[in-house]
Amino acid sequence: MKVLGIAGSPRINGNTDMLLAEVMRGATENGAEVTTIYLRELNISPCLHCDNCLKDGECNIADDMKHIYLDLEFTDKLVLASPLHFMGLTSQTKLMVDRCQSLWVRKYKLKIPPLRCNRMRKGLFISVGGRRMVGLFEPALATVKALFSSLDIEYSGSLVFPGIDEKEAIKEHPDALQRAFLAGQRLTED
Ligand SMILES: Cc1cc2nc3c(=O)[nH]c(=O)nc-3n(C[C@H](O)[C@H](O)[C@H](O)COP(=O)(O)O)c2cc1C
């Protein structure tokens, strides 16, 4: 079983990086083959809304997104990690999400599988935010759910922690890293 982790924070070894690493460790212990991509290291253009993808569901922009399209295609489970930035996903993550428009076109306009085959895929969302308020993660979660459903990835839940702001603050949380490890195991059980 392949598990793809996408790290969307600009902060190296920050809170979501740590949570994602624990999820991947849990998946690895279950025998999964894991790959983690750090969006901050990649060159990804914004979607240009050129509408070229309307023809054939292919994006014409030549950049690192080409690797992510392939990784998405071949994975069984996706773990998307992004802290909140102004209530939403980070810019790095949103660039990647918007570039999945060509996959949206495949599903809703061309009526073909967005990831080429109809294999069952599942996705988990990981996030943290510095603030504490009701509904803190809802706006970001709405985007994640829209992405997953456009890619025919079943939403299998989220692991989110409010009140986590300083770098490595997640280490002080009583059970966050352990819950991340267990989430990685659960995701790879079937
Ligand atoms: C540009 C920016 C915008 C942010 N906006 C929010 C926000 O809207 N709500 C919130 O709870 N935290 C916000 N934060 C705080 C981060 O979510 C928080 O520091 C988090 O722990 C960063 O996670 P990371 O270490 O994985 O990057 C923001 C931080 C930055 C740098």
Of 159, 165, 168, the residue with max ligand 1 atoms within 8 A of its CB, to mutate for a pocket test, comes to 165
**Chain segment 136-173, per-residue pLDDT in tens:** 999 999 999 999 999 999 999 999 999 999 999 999 99
87 lines ligand 1 (CB under 6 A): yes
pLDDT in tens, the chain (190 residues): 999 999 999 999 999 999 999 999 999 999 999 999 999 999 999 999 999 999 999 999 999 999 999 999 999 999 999 999 999 999 999 999 999 999 999 999 999 999 998 889 999 999 999 999 999 999 999 999 999 999 999 999 999 999 999 999 999 998 999 999 999 999 999 7
Handedness of CA 146, 86, 13, 43 (dihedral sign): positive
Residues in the chain: 190
- CA of 50 from ligand 1 middle (Å) equals 31
Distance of alpha carbon 160 from alpha carbon 141, whole angstroms = 10
127 lines ligand 1 (CB under 6 A): no
Distance of alpha carbon 47 from alpha carbon 59, whole angstroms = 9
Distance of alpha carbon 122 from alpha carbon 154, whole angstroms = 5
- CA of 84 from ligand 1 middle (Å) equals 5
Question: Which structure tokens are listed for 188?
Answer: 């790879």
Domain edges within the chain: 2-6+23-129+147-172
pTM above the 0.85 mark?
yes
- CA of 57 from ligand 1 middle (Å) equals 34
- CA of 11 from ligand 1 middle (Å) equals 10
Distance of alpha carbon 103 from alpha carbon 47, whole angstroms = 12
CA dihedral 175, 176, 182, 187 (to 10 degrees): 160
83 lines ligand 1 (CB under 6 A): yes
Nearest to 123 by CA among 157, 160, 88: 157
In this structure, which topology does domain 2-6+23-129+147-172 adopt according to CATH?
Answer: Rossmann fold (3.40.50)
Atom of ligand 1 nearest to the CA of 167: 25
